[in-house]
Each structure stands twice: as C-alpha cells, then as structure tokens.
Structure 1
C-alpha cells in the first residue's frame, strides 16, 4: 500500500516558498531601484561638493602660488577617513592642490568636465578660469557598495523571521480550513464491515457534500449486499440444522439396525457426510455472527469462567477426554470489555482446530496470561510459512487429511479484530521444535 502525501505539508511548503520568492523578488526590485536612486544622490552630492570647493581652492591658490610641489590641504583636526577626495589641476594635468587623504599623483581621469568611472572611484571634473584649472572630486565606489549592502541587508533580514512565522500562520490557517476534510476522513476510515452507518452531513462545506453523498450511497449498497449475504447464510444454516439433525438421527439408527456388510459401510459414510454438513452449517452460523460485527461490550466481564466452561465441555466428549490442559497460573480474574459470545466462539474454534489437526497422543495447552493474551498450542507437523499466512482466509485449509470446513481460523480472526485484538499464528510453536500455536490478545479492563 502506497503512502499518500499530506495536503497540509504541501500547502505549508508551497505557500511559504511563494511568500519567500515574492519577498526576495520585491527586495531585489527595490534594491535595483534604490541603487539607481543612490547613484543619483551620490552624483548630485559629488557635483555640489565640487562647485562649492572650486572658489575656495582658487582663493587659496591665489594667496600662495609660490610652491612648485602640490600643496596638501590639512584636515580639520581629526584622523577620520574622508569619503570625498579632490585634486586641483592645471591644464597640463599638474596637481596644484589636493585634499588630506588624496594622493599627490593625478587621478586617472581626463581633464574634461563631467563624470568618469575608474575601477575604484567615480570622479567628477569641474573646470574654471576659462578651462585653465580643473577640480576633480573622487567618491570611492566601496562607499556606495557599502551603503547598498546595508540597505539591502535591512530589507532581507526580516525574511529570516518571516519564513518561520509564515510556516506557523499557514499551518494554523490550513489546519482550520482543512478541519472538515480531516473529520470526513476519520468518519470514512471508521466505516468497515461492522460499521456501515451513513456519514454525518452537518458541518460540511459545500465542496465536500457531494463526496459525503456519494460515499453514503456506496455504503448503502454495500450494507444492503452484506445484509442479504448474512441473512442468506444465517437463514440457510439455521433452516438446515433441523432437517440435518433429523437425517443424522435416522442414519445413526439405520447404522445400528443394519448388519455388518456393504450396506452398513455405506450408511456409516452417509453418517459422516451428514455430520460434516451439520458442522459446516454451525460454522456458517458463526460466520454470519462474526460478519455482523459482534466483538465489543459496554461492560467488562470476567472471561475465566467462560474459558473453563468451554474446556470442560470439550473434555466431556469421549474423543477429546484428557487432551486439554488449562494453565491460568495465579490469575484470579481475566476481565475485558468484549462480547461473551464472540469470545466463546473464538475459543471454541481455536481449541477445535487444535484438537482436529494436532497430534492425538500429545496434550493441547491453553495458556491465559495477565497481559490479555490467550494461546492454544498443539503438537504436530510444522505448517509451512506460505500456508500459515493463508490459514485465516475463508475456506483455506493447510496440508491435512483431518475433517474441517476451513472456516474456524477465519471466524476467530474476524471476531478478534472486532474485539480490538490481534490473532497471531506460529509454527513451530514457541519453545518447541514442531507444533502449531494460535495466540490472540485483547485489551484488558484496567478500571
């Protein structure tokens, strides 16, 4: 059986991924727009700074134009890094003045008014005095990149908190939105051969109502078919019991009256056939009861007297006398909320299976444990594993010549399921080299 996928998990993953992608896309577009705006702001500041610096530097140059070497303009008194650096050059490219952090070597930019980019700086050139003096102001590109990184980081950081928050919110929303689907799923999963009641239609959204109606129609058809089959099997078996019992009694009387010879042998064969047919009718009655869903009870019942009564009933039969050993240890009570008839039918079928197919010269051990497990162990040949798996199927028989209908273990398995327990078959039996062991466990009453 393949495992289906979770709608809630898919919705959470896909919606969270969609939100994250939308956020990343929005941040990417915003970062691109901000980069263009930042460049315009930085360029404007660069141009404005050069226009303000030009008259001041010319005045400073006029006051002292005796030096042949480039003169360095001292800083304001602190050693902080300056983002903007500048050089005042003549038409020959010679540096006349430069800022505190600028190198005395000329900037690698042409003496033409306007902007020019180098690998590390963006330079704006401003001319004055009829293009005889040129002021070049340089802005490091690293400064712009740093500002862009910090701004983009401020936009991306909320995404780290947005993703887990989105998962929680989407999980809450989808859980509330898909709650009717979960309720409908639980109702459908609770329907089986013992529960074919209509689905509750209240509280379902309009999208799920057609599903509920369709399932109810299907359940109605299945319920009708199963009820017909159960009624037919039960009525047929019940109606056959009386004529079979009469025919068997007449045959047994005929066997007693006939002398030894071929006629008596044929009569004995008819007797065996009628006994087998009566046994089959009894099994069909039990099967119809198992299919009706009996198993659980509202009240807890001590099942030890039931087990002792069944063992005593089998022990009274001459063919089975002395073959059953009941082991309960110090157990004083074996209480469970199960149907007594269902438990009794299960015990009878397991014991009968052991009596028919087990070794005639070895005892059959019936063990009851306080944990709620009952095991029936008989000696005999090992049942192959491939046959062991099929033994709980209807009309399935292993490699045996013993009489039987192939329904005993199927009835027991069905009833144990209805009682909320589990039937386990093992061959060889636990602790033995051969034999067969049937163990079923039921929930014990702890109240």
Structure 2
C-alpha cells in the first residue's frame, strides 16, 4: 500500500470543499435569480399590458364605426424579433388587433384578468370596463426567460470554473507553506542514525510541534548516552583484553617450545589457537567500536588509491597472503574522496581478509581499481545464493563455511563505507566467473 501524503489529502479536501461551496452558492444564486427574473418579467408584462390597453382602446374607439379595426394590421411592423406580442380580443374571443409577430388565431389563454402560463408563453390579460369588454392579452415567450436565466447562470458559474484551478493552486501553496515545518521535522528525524544523534533545533518550529521536538530530543539524548556507553564498554573491554591475551599467548607459545612432544604439547597448541581466535575477536570488536563512533566520515578529500596500494602491499608481505593477492590499477584510475584513510584501510582489510579466509585457496584473489573509482575484490569459491549474500551482511552473520571467523568483517566494512558515502555490493558469481564472490565498493559521484 502506497504512503498517503497529508499535503495531497489536505489540498484535495480543501479544494473540493471550496469548489463545492462555490458551486452551491452559484446554484442558490441561480435559483434566486430565476425567482427575481420571474418577478421582473411579470411586472413588465403586466405594466405593458395595462398601458397598451389604454392606447389600443382609444385607437378602436376612434374608428368610424365599431369593429372597423377588426382586420387592422396597421401596427408598425417590427424591425426585429419582438419579445412581447399581444392580441386585442372581444368577449367572443375574436382577434380585433394583434402585433406583428402574434398569431392570427387567438391565444390559448382564458379571457379573464390576470396571469396565465401556457406551454410556450406567459400571458397577462387586461380588460376594459363597461358592457362590451375588450381583452388585451400580452404574451412573453418562456424561451426568452430561459435564455436570460441561462446567460445569467453562466455569468455566475463561469467565474467559479475559472477560479477552481486557481484555488487548487492557492490551497496547495498555502498547505505546503503551512506544513513546511512538519516536513523539516520529518527530514530531521529521518536523518538520525547511530552516527548522527544531535538534538533537533527548536528555533522556527510552530508551537504545536514543540512537544514532539522535546520528546524526540529527549529520546535522542537517552539513545546517544546508551550507545556511547555501549561503544565505550566495547572499546575498553577489547582494549583491556588485548594486553592479557597477548601475554597469555606469548606464555603459551613459550610453553609449547619447552614442552616435549605428546598430548600436553597438543593441548598447549589448542590453547594457542583459542587465544589467537580470541585476540582476533578483540581486534574486530575494537574496529566495530570505531565504526560505530563514525570514524569514516571526514570532509577533506584524500587519495584513497594510495591507501589501497599500501593495504594490498601489506597483505602481499604477509606469509599467509603471499602469492594469493594480485593488484590491478586501471590506467588513469583515480580515487580521491572525502573519507578517513584509517577507516578506509580498516574496511579494505576486512574485505581482503574475508576473501583470504573464505575464498578458494587455489584461486588468486584479484583486487582491482577501475577508471571510475570502483574497487573490486574478487575471490574464488562456490556460488552463493542471494540469501547467503544477505546473511553475511548482517553482524555475526556467516554463510556456508567451515573457516574460522567472527562474522563481523563485512558488517564493519559496510558501516565504515556508508559513512564515506560509498556502498558495498556483494555479487556472486563475479562477472566472467562461474563461482566465487565479488565485493564491490562504489562511491557516490557527488563525493568526488
């Protein structure tokens, strides 16, 4: 399930709410406008009918004889479409006078004073007083009213449709600015690890976030104290163990030289092997403590290619690695990065030791420095599955091997390299090989 963004949810919710309110307001405005338009049109219709009745009746009464205007078409023809049409009718419904666009047949409206709504028109009938009543019916086309309502509604809705995208952008901008301190706090918390446990600055934080910052800082302080105590204990313990272990190992070796051959000498050699293993473990614990303390992170670029050459040369001088270690530096290869020389050397030694101990003794170990600054350490051996590669990455993790070791070497190297903005890749088999493993060190380009 993908992570849901608070910014996105707030933007959508607020924009949807604003758009909904605007559309509702526009709809209510259209309803009110329809009612007001009806009142205005009805008022105009009634006023027109009553004033026109006086003029038409005078025109009829001024004729030579009653009914002389029955077929009178003498109303001045309209220059365009008329919005209002009318008919003057007698009590029998006959049309005495009509406007230019009015039909010849009588309107489908009753002959009585007041308003009447038909299928296509809204009528108002005005009547005269006296024995012979005349009826003036003025009609207003409903299509004209609908057209006015549609145009008025569009005048309300179009600005809303134009403002909705602008409101979405404005809401997104406001939400982003409002949630910026939360994002800054999230990034500050996400950056915390064993090498960065500095407290989070409270300056500029909103009042609502201060309790969270206070709690996180308290937790970081306690965690930092616990980790420092653990590292100090590990480092002190390993350091204090080195001297007595070295003394016991020396005494054991003297004892082995003095003892004659037999079971006692064999047991003494077993004690020597155990002390060597214990000394190696103490050395690894010291390296682990230094890695946990963040010794690999520095800001000044150094020549790590020289460090690589020195480490390889040191192994080549060792009787155990003599003849097994090969070094190849590509032409023009440069490795200058902001990293600790000591920390890089520790990482290299652990990776090369891992290749020497667990690799096939009959296959040379190939250490390469490529043109792009990638360091490759290739050793022979069986093909390793992905789960085995993941296992040996873990602290005290060991794969299918009977060789002695603490299971800390790759974990220490991985920790130190991460502090140098480098990543450790484990590949099996290496490119061009049927088996074995390759430890590949790649630095981020921006750290060069």
Scaled to the shorter chain, the TM-score interval is: over 0.9
Matched, 1:118 2:118: yes
Contact kept? 1:421, 1:443, Cα under 8 Å: yes
- 1:37 Cα deviation after fit: 0.9
| 8 Å Cα contact 1:335/1:445 also seen in 2 | no
8 Å contact kept, 2:334–2:372: no
Equivalent residues in 2 for 1:28-427, closer than 5 Å: 28-62=27-61, 63=63, 70-76=71-77, 78=79, 80-130=80-130, 132-331=133-332, 333-427=334-428
CA distance in 1, matches of 2:38, 2:78: 30
| Equivalent-residue separation in structure 1 for 2:275 and 2:71 (angstroms) | 131
Cα separation, partners in 2 of 1:10 and 1:73, compared to 1, 3 Å: farther
Q: Which residue of 1 aligns with 2:13?
A: 14
| Secondary structure class of the residue paired with 1:296 | coil
SS of the equivalent of 1:433 reads coil
Shift of 1:411: 0.7
TM superposition shift of 1:187: 2.0
Q: Which deviates more, 426-435 or 34-43?
A: 426-435
Q: C-alpha distance in 2, partners of 1:71/1:321?
A: 130
Q: What displacement does 1:183 show?
A: 2.4
Of 309-318 and 261-270, deviating more is 261-270
The answer to whether the 8 Å contact 1:290/1:414 transfers is yes
Q: Provide the alpha-carbon RMSD of the alignment.
A: 1.9
CA distance in 2, matches of 1:34, 1:83: 20
The 3-state SS of whatever aligns with 1:86 is strand
Q: Given that residues 311 and 324 in structure 1 are in contact (C-alpha distance below 8 angstroms), is that contact kept between their aligned partners in structure 2?
A: yes
**CA separation in 1, counterparts of 2:263 and 2:403?**
24
Residue pair 2:330, 2:371 contacting (<8 A) in 1 also: no
Q: 1:359, 1:380 within 8 Å by CA — same for their partners in 2?
A: yes
Q: Using the TM superposition, give the Cα deviation of residue 276 of structure 1 relative to its aligned residue in structure 2, in angstroms.
A: 0.9
Structure 1 distance, partners of 2:319, 2:159, is: 86
Change (3 A) 1:358 1:134: same
Shift of 1:392: 1.0
Question: How much does 1:292 deviate?
Answer: 0.7
1:219-268 deviations in whole A, cap 9, x for unaligned? 01111110111011111111111111111122222223333322222222
Mapped to 2, the partners of 1:283 and 1:398 lie a distance apart of 18
Gaps of 5+ in 1: none
Tell me, yes or no, if the aligned pair for 1:337 and 1:444 is still in contact at 8 Å: no
Secondary structure of residue in 2 paired with 1:301: strand
CA drift at 1:8: 2.4
After TM superposition, give the deviation of residue 331 of structure 1 in Å: 2.9
TM-score, normalised by the number of residues in structure 2:
0.94
What CA distance in whole angstroms lies between the structure 1 residues aligned with 2:441 and 2:229?
30
Instruction: Give the Å deviation of 1:67.
Output: 6.4
Is the CA contact (8 Å cut-off) linking 1:127 and 1:135 kept in structure 2?
A: yes
Q: CA deviation at 1:3?
A: 4.8
- Helix, strand or coil: the match of 2:104? coil
Structure-1-length-normalised TM-score: 0.95
Inter-CA distance 268–331: structure 2 relative to 1 (3 Å threshold): farther
- Rounded Cα–Cα distance in structure 1 between residues aligned with 2:279 and 2:252: 13
Q: In the aligned structure 1, how far is the partner of 2:358 from the partner of 2:70?
A: 120
Deviations 1:332-374 (A, max 9, x none): 5321001111111110111111111111011111111232321
Q: Which runs of 5+ in 2 are unaligned?
A: none
Compared CA separation, residues 3 and 199, structure 1 to 2 (3 A): farther
The separation in 2 between residues aligned to 1:191 and 1:160, in whole angstroms, is 46
Q: How many residues align?
A: 445
- Alpha-carbon distance, 1:272 to partner: 1.3
Greater Cα shift, 236-245 or 329-338: 329-338
